[in-house]
Amino acid sequence: MATGIETERKFALAKGQSLPSLNAIAIEGAREQRELISIYYDTPDYRLNAAQQVIRRRSGGPDAGWQAKLPTDNPDERIEVQLPPGGERLPRELRDLVAASVGERPLLPVAELRTHRSLRELRDETGKVLAEVCEDRVSATVAGQTQEWTEAEVELVGGDRRLLDAIEAEYHAAGVWRSPSRSKLAQALAEQVARLEESAANPPAAQVVRNYLGIQIGILQALELKVLRNDFDAVHRCRVATRKLRCTLRTFDPAFRPSSVRALREELRWHAEQLGAPRDAEVLKQRLTATLAELPAEVAAEVGEEIRAHLAAQHAAAHDALVTSMCTDRYRRLQLGLEQLLADLPLDRMAAEPATVVLPKMFAKAVHRAESAAVRAEARPSDLTRWHELRKAAKAARYGAEALQAVLGSAVASQVDAWSQVTTALGDLQDAVIAAQVIADLAFEAVEQGRSRAPFDELRSKQDLRLREALTRGRAAVAVALAS
């Protein structure tokens, strides 16, 4: 990673206007023509642009590769960080540089700038390069809209600020003035930023769905390294974010073009499974450790170490498998697909309508699916798979209500809480089912080895009690949620 200080000034050029000669100041070299393509990254609400920070991937010219530009106290200077070309995903090192600005918001491509650059060097009598003068014809594409303009840049190489002042004086004399935009990206995004601010009071459905998806994608991006390191709570939070993405894409599916997100939902399911295995092992360890503490000390001592060792090995193997999956091309394509989803949502025309009109109807269908799942579960309450299906439907209702809070506020807050109670209770039920199965497997191994299964039976009875308690709470919570 190369780091340096870039010192330059930007000047606006009217249509047909050219830069004056600078031969009175320095020796102008021959013109060099370059074609540059730059993909700029920012958050959905353009936080980097507001902070005067730039991240881009450039092709063409000697500085091709990944770049970050960060402001300093001097308006003419920026810190420039460069990484060589390689890979389509934003390098983690550049995200770390702007972490204070973006937090857990996602970074995605927000603009493509194609620049025809006419460059010439300014030299002194000894041949030393003092500065580079560029005339840029820019074509910027943002949210499907294209705009064009011409500007100039003067970047110091071996000269000093007195040279910049002298050049600016020559330009002023010829009617060429400083650009009112601090960067090409700021100029490209100006209209989009204004539109975002105008729609804040009554956002369209597309904006609400995009914002909620963006929160989840940002968590996956921001916690990626922590997941690989198995930092506390990182796997759990990413698993939840992945579930929210899948549920949101299903609940609000009518807002998207038919079948446009089906493949992405399947890939999210795959990643959720990879995240789920180590998380389940974590939960089991916590659950069974707590249960062991309720048993007589001699019973807990007899099987406690065996259970903890079994679950530790299970967790280690699951996390190793997760790390392996995150090093695959499949995972890379998933992350790029999520970036592209935010950059260019494949939306139906109805998504342009007010969110308060369109989205509640879709949410109502998610609640209806949960209600139907509840009816099936109550019809055969001993079938625990039906309660698991209800739990998944309840999650979709919960996350749909969360997404609607951005526009409906307190009107759906009670539903978020009610469906959260359902998913928590039925989650406890599912954990008890899995714990009971693990205990049964360990008991079978003990018998095979000629040992007593009695300690495991005591553990199993505790889980059965928790299962019944969770089911009772879940049934009551479902009734409350459906009545809210």
- Report helix, strand or coil for 17: coil
Q: Is residue 192 located within the same domain as residue 206?
A: no
pLDDT at 21 over 90: yes
Q: What is the pLDDT of residues 331-347, one digit of tens each?
A: 999 999 999 999 999 99
CATH code, domain carrying 431: 1.40.20.10
Tokens 């506020």 found at: 409
DSSP 158-176: S--HHHHHHHHHHHHHTT-
pTM for the full model? 0.93
When pLDDT is averaged across residues 355-369 and rounded to a whole number, the result is 96
Q: Mean pLDDT throughout 69-94?
A: 94
Neighbours of 281 (CB within 10 A): 23
Q: Which residue has tokens 């039925």? A: 426
In this structure, the answer to whether residues 211 and 175 fall within a common structural domain is no
Range of the structural domain that residue 84 is part of: 2-196
Rounded to whole angstroms, the Cα distance separating 214 from 220 reads: 10
Sorted by sequence, the CB contacts under 8 Å of residue 87 that are 6+ apart come out as none
Distance between the two ends of the chain, CA-based, in angstroms? 55
C-alpha 435/C-alpha 445 separation (Å) is 16
Residue that is last in its domain, among 156, 181, 196: 196
Whether the pLDDT of residue 302 is over 90: the answer is: no
Same domain, 394 and 371: yes
pLDDT for 200: 85
pLDDT at 299 over 90: no
Residue after which a domain boundary falls, among 141, 162, 196 = 196
E strands present in 17-103: 27-28, 32-42, 54-59, 65-71, 77-83
Phi/psi of residue 122, nearest 5 degrees: -110, 125
Same domain, 133 and 246: no
Query: Of 30, 93, 96, 35, nearest to 64 (Cα)?
Result: 35
Share of the chain above pLDDT 90, in %: 89
Query: Is there a single domain that holds both residue 191 and residue 267?
Result: no
Closest CA to 401 of 180, 244, 293: 244
The phi, psi pair for 353, rounded to 5°, reads -80, 165
159 in the same domain as 248: no
pLDDT given at position 185: 96
pLDDT of 484 strictly over 90: no
The pLDDT of residue 296 is: 85
Is the distance from CB of 41 to CB of 55 less than 8 angstroms?
A: yes
In whole angstroms, give the CA distance from residue 320 to residue 278.
Answer: 9
What is the rounded average pLDDT of the residues 407-429?
Answer: 96
Judgement on whether residues 395 and 294 belong to the same structural domain of the protein: yes
For residue range 454-473, what is the model confidence (pLDDT) as tens digits?
889 989 999 999 999 999 99
Take residue 54 and report the two structure tokens written for it.
């730039």
Residue 146's pLDDT band, with cuts at 50, 70 and 90, is very high
313 with 185, same domain: the answer is: no
Residue ending a domain, among 144, 165, 196, is 196
422-453 pLDDT, tens digit per residue, is 999 999 999 999 999 999 999 999 999 999 89
Confidence tier at 311 by pLDDT (50, 70, 90)? very high
Residues 245 and 370 in one domain: yes
Stretch 294-310: mean pLDDT, rounded? Answer: 86
Residue 204's DSSP bridge partners are: 354
Residues 38-58 have pLDDT tens digits of 999 999 999 999 999 999 999
- Tens-digit pLDDT profile for residues 186-230: 999 999 999 999 888 899 999 999 999 999 999 999 999 999 999
At 110, which CATH number?
2.40.320.10
CA 472 to CA 344: how far, in whole Å? 45
Highest-confidence range of 139-153, 195-209, 295-309, by mean pLDDT? 139-153
114 and 252 belong to one structural domain: no
CA dihedral of residues 93, 99, 100, 105 (deg, nearest 10): 160
Domain total in the chain: 2
What's the Cα-to-Cα distance from 437 to each of 163, 245, 470, rounded to whole Å?
Answer: 77, 30, 17
C-alpha pair distances (Å), 195 with each of 13, 147, 190, 191, 199: 26, 16, 9, 6, 6
Instruction: Look over the chain and give the mean of its residue pLDDT values, rounded to a whole number.
Output: 95
Q: Which residues contact 148 (CB under 8 A, 6 or more apart)?
A: 137, 138, 139, 140
Regarding whether 380 and 345 lie in a shared domain, the answer is yes
DSSP 254: G
CA–CA dist 217, 123 (Å, integer): 49
Residues 178 and 207 in one domain: no
